[in-house]
């Protein structure tokens, strides 16, 4: 959004001009409130990211790089747009500590440093060699303070207090009370830590990343919270999350807040709403089923177990699977979908559960990649331990690019990797087969934030599949689990992991 921009600059693609951008980076970080140490790290990340972008450029005399600093809900974001050489990513040399120690070879060091410094990073490669590198550096914000023992004991004595309430849309000034509600009702087990930081919640509400409905009790305390989160305020697909109800209060009609939120989303032309339920219990699945959501994908080992339970139980896996749900709010696209024949029955079954009968393209219309440049976005969450590669358009280097991402993620120890392939593209059945030969296996289908329909594949890196700990509420959920398990077992039998050639 325009109001989030702090500073933008365009420079010729020359290494000797990086210091100019470094000055701007320092000022933006200081204005945003970073400590002196974090200002230094932020500037280093900016300088190294620019070095990497310039090194991968065409080296032309008139080449330019666009840099945009933006205020995000978590801290500062940096977008670097440039033109890059059409090189196969898996052929690019990666940083090696041993090579540096033995031969003083620092190749690949710039990008390695960026990844070590920043909190999130994504790279998208568009047509004609356009490359966009975006990363965020978080502010070391204070979490909402826990309550003292006296207040906790008082809260326990007030269980199931009857109270009237007011349902309303949240405003930025509700941020601290929202964070306190989550901590009070759920403890420290929410999958995303953003909700525990009032400053982040306030900024997310302000810029439209978070759209919330709260239930305010007669005493002025918030007793329920429902939220939608998107990549941006106008995302066609948004995620339902941070659903919290304080069990200490009893107030009839609180769940109407969710209906209020979804009705507003439909008025805002949101195409679909997604949500994730953990599989170490079925409580969250039950709530989504009651609201008309349907299972669409099972992602194994997606979340650290500590994010979903406040104490470890005997036999609990190191990572927990997530069951993805979707609900369509408006007319579904009638574009023909190119569905791989081996997964067609399951995919049509998933759509049927959601009340949608897609137009299926005939097998005779399937094709190979037609050449040209890819449009790919890669998102990495190092702390949570996952990577998502979203293919928007295929090109000559699509397969090599994704294969390169897998090599890097394996080296970094990222356990859960997902790939989304566009079902509206005639090359998807062919590309699906190639990825399955690498060791990927079926996860389900997912609506994209741009309103697309996508085939979801997944790859596990050094972690247990955890099928025995996956609990499903419905008969269809069990059917989906069994199908994903069959696909996983088939990937093991093929024994073709993505090793370097």
pLDDT the model gives residue 435: 93
CB 221 within 8 A of CB 165: no
pLDDT of 498 > 90? The answer is no
Q: Please indicate whether residue 23 or residue 154 has the higher confidence score (pLDDT).
A: 23
Question: Sorting pLDDT into bands at 50, 70 and 90, what band is 74?
Answer: confident
pLDDT the model gives residue 383: 73
pLDDT of 323 > 90? The answer is yes
- DSSP letter, residue 148: P
Q: Which phi-psi region, left, alpha or beta, contains residue 328 (left: φ > 0; alpha: ψ -120 to 50)?
A: beta
Q: Which residues of 473-496 are buried (b: 16+ CB within 10 A; e: fewer)?
A: bbebbebbbebbbebbeebeeeee
Helices 398-412 and 428-438: crossing angle, nearest 10°?
30
Task: Please state the three-class secondary structure of 327-367 as a single string.
Answer: EECCCCCCCCECCCHHHHHHHHHHHHHCCCCCCECCHHHCC
Q: Tell me how far CA of residue 291 lies from CA of 165, 240, 273, 280, 465, in angstroms.
A: 21, 11, 11, 21, 29
Query: How many Cβ atoms from other residues are within 10 Å of residue 104's Cβ?
Result: 7
The full set of domains in the chain, from first to last, is: 1-138 (3.30.565.10), 149-334 (3.40.630.30), 335-501 (no CATH)
- Alpha carbons 172 and 191: distance in angstroms, whole number: 22
pLDDT of 102 > 60? The answer is no
- pLDDT tens digits, one per residue of 238-263: 999 888 888 887 778 888 999 999 99
Q: Please indicate whether residue 25 or residue 143 has the higher confidence score (pLDDT).
A: 25
Q: Tokens 């190092």 — which residue? A: 382
pLDDT the model gives residue 78: 94
Global model pTM greater than 0.75 = no
pLDDT the model gives residue 91: 47
- pLDDT tens digits, one per residue of 160-217: 567 888 999 999 999 989 988 888 877 655 556 778 888 888 888 988 888 999 999 8
- pLDDT tens digits, one per residue of 326-341: 999 977 777 899 999 9
Mean pLDDT value across the chain: 82
- pLDDT tens digits, one per residue of 416-461: 999 999 999 999 999 999 999 989 999 999 998 888 899 999 999 9
pLDDT the model gives residue 141: 64
Question: Sorting pLDDT into bands at 50, 70 and 90, what band is 276?
Answer: very high
CB 17 within 8 A of CB 77: no
pLDDT the model gives residue 480: 97
- pLDDT tens digits, one per residue of 376-402: 888 888 778 888 999 998 988 888 888
Residues 6+ apart with CB under 8 A from 202: 172, 173, 175
CB 361 within 8 A of CB 336: yes
CB 408 within 8 A of CB 417: no
């Amino acid at each position: 959004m325009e109001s989030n921009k702090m500073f933008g600059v365009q420079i010729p693609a020359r290494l000797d001009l990086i210091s100019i951008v470094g000055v701007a980076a320092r000022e933006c970080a200081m204005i945003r409130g970073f400590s002196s140490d974090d200002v230094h790290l932020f500037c280093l990340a900016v300088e190294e990211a620019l070095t990497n972008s310039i090194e991968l450029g065409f080296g032309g005399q008139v080449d330019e790089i666009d840099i945009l600093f933006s205020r995000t809900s978590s801290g500062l974001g940096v977008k670097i747009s440039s033109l890059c050489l059409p090189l196969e990513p898996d052929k690019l040399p990666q940083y090696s500590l041993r090579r540096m120690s033995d031969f003083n070879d620092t190749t690949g060091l710039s990008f390695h440093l960026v990844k070590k410094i920043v909190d999130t990073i994504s790279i998208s490669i568009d047509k004609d060699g356009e490359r966009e590198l975006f990363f965020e550096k978080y502010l070391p914000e204070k979490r909402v303070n826990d309550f003292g023992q006296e207040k906790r004991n008082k809260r326990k004595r007030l269980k199931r207090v009857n109270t009237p309430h007011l349902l309303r849309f949240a405003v930025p000034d509700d941020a601290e009370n929202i964070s306190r509600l989550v901590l009070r009702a759920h403890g420290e087990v929410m999958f995303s830590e953003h909700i525990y930081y009032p400053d982040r919640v306030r900024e997310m509400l302000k810029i439209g990343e978070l759209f919330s409905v709260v239930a305010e009790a007669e005493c002025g305390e918030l007793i329920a919270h429902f939220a939608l989160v998107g990549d941006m305020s106008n995302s066609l697909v948004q995620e339902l999350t941070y659903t919290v109800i304080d069990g200490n209060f009893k107030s009839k009609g609180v769940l109407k807040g969710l209906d209020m939120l979804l009705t507003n989303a439909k008025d805002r032309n949101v195409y679909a709403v997604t949500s994730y339920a953990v599989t170490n219990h079925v409580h969250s699945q039950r709530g989504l089923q009651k609201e008309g959501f349907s299972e669409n994908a099972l992602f194994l080992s997606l979340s650290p177990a500590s994010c979903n339970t406040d104490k470890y139980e005997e036999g609990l896996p190191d990572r927990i699977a997530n069951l993805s749900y979707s609900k369509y709010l408006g007319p579904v696209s009638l574009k023909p979908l190119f569905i791989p024949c081996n997964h067609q029955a399951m995919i049509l079954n998933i759509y049927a559960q959601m009340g949608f009968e897609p137009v299926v393209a005939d097998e005779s219309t399937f094709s190979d990649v037609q050449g040209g440049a890819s449009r790919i976005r890669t998102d990495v969450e190092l702390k949570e331990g996952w990577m998502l590669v979203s293919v928007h358009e295929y090109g000559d280097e699509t397969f090599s690019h994704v294969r390169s991402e897998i090599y890097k993620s394996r080296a970094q120890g990222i356990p859960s990797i997902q790939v989304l392939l566009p079902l509206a593209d005639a090359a998807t059945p062919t590309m699906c087969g190639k990825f399955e030969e690498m060791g990927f296996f079926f996860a389900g289908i997912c609506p994209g934030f741009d309103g697309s329909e996508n085939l979801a594949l997944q790859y596990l890196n050094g972690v247990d599949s955890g099928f025995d700990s996956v609990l499903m509420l419905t008969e269809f959920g069990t059917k989906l689990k069994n199908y994903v398990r069959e696909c996983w077992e088939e990937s093991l039998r093929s024994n073709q992991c993505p090793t370097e050639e």
